[in-house]
A and B are shown apart, each in its own frame.
Chain A
Amino acid sequence: MNRETADGAQGEISDDENSTLQGSNGQQIVKKQRPVNLQLNTISFPPAAISSILHRVTGVALFFALIFVIWAWAVSVSSAEGFDMVVECMNGVLGKLIAIGTVSAFIYHLLGGLRHMVMDMGHWEEMQSGNNSARIIIGLWIVLTVLVGVVVW
């Protein structure tokens, strides 16, 4: 049996739609078969969804980027030779790309986190305001990243 899902995709549902199990205390457990749609190209991604996944991706990326940040900090602050070495790395293409990437991920994660906290306090929670605030932080993020890119390069 086919069923129309909210985003217009077709979800397969088997005939025994609701399978009933017996719980240990004799109560009935109804396992409702929901349509599963994991075909990403049939799901629409509004700004709020993009904003959400970006916050997650940048959070995880930052965690690993900290390897470079803390290495650079530890080496540069410990000795003059180390400092010179890090400055040299920062002048190389790879060093600049890592620095810009890290700062960019941080900027997004920060903006996304602040948006989260505003939402925690009960604002921007409607469809319209939520999507607008998502658009704004994504725009701000791109502008700030370009700015940092120009300054570092």
Chain B
Amino acid sequence: MVINQASLKRDGVQDWVSLRATAVIITFFSLYMVWFFVSTPQVTFEIWQGLFSALWMKVFTFATLVCIMIHVRIGLWQVLSDYVKNARLRVLLQYLMNLLAFAYVLVGLFVLWGV
């Protein structure tokens, strides 16, 4: 008998889709950055700051950081649940890593606010 687990927990299909959807956005952002470095002969502070002061680039950068947070939230959970059998330790490590991922997003938010 299959017991349907009605809860707030995410399911595997949702994880699978989220991991790939976020991967695609991170890929586009990275390709854009590669293109920027390759197509800009001399990266000066003005050009570099100018890049991130455009509104669309702020949105793009922030969205990418949020995607990274979602991506590693799932990805690191997969890794931790494979190797760390002790439930308490796993939850602790997961908590610390998710905190770091959240810090990445916060730093991004404040920096983008300022430029």
A→B interface (CB under 8 Å): 56, 59-60, 63, 66-67, 70, 73-74, 76-78, 80, 83-84, 106, 110, 113, 117, 120
Contacts and interface: CB of A to CB of B under 8 A. Distances in A.
B12 interface: no
Contacts of B20: 117, 120
Interface in B91-112: 97, 100-101, 104, 107-108, 111
Interface in B42-80: 45, 48-49, 52, 68, 72, 75-76, 79
A135 to B, nearest CB: 22
A117 B108 CA distance: 29
Contacts of B114: 78
Contact of A76 (B48, B68, B76, B108): B48
Contacts of A59: 72, 75, 79
| Chain A contact residues, majority secondary structure | helix
Given A56-B79, A59-B79, A120-B20, A77 B104 contact: no
Interface of B: 20, 23, 27, 30, 45, 48-49, 52, 68, 72, 75-76, 79, 97, 100-101, 104, 107-108, 111, 114-115
A66 B115 contact: no
B48 A83 contact: yes
A106 B104 CA distance: 17
Nearest to B111: A74
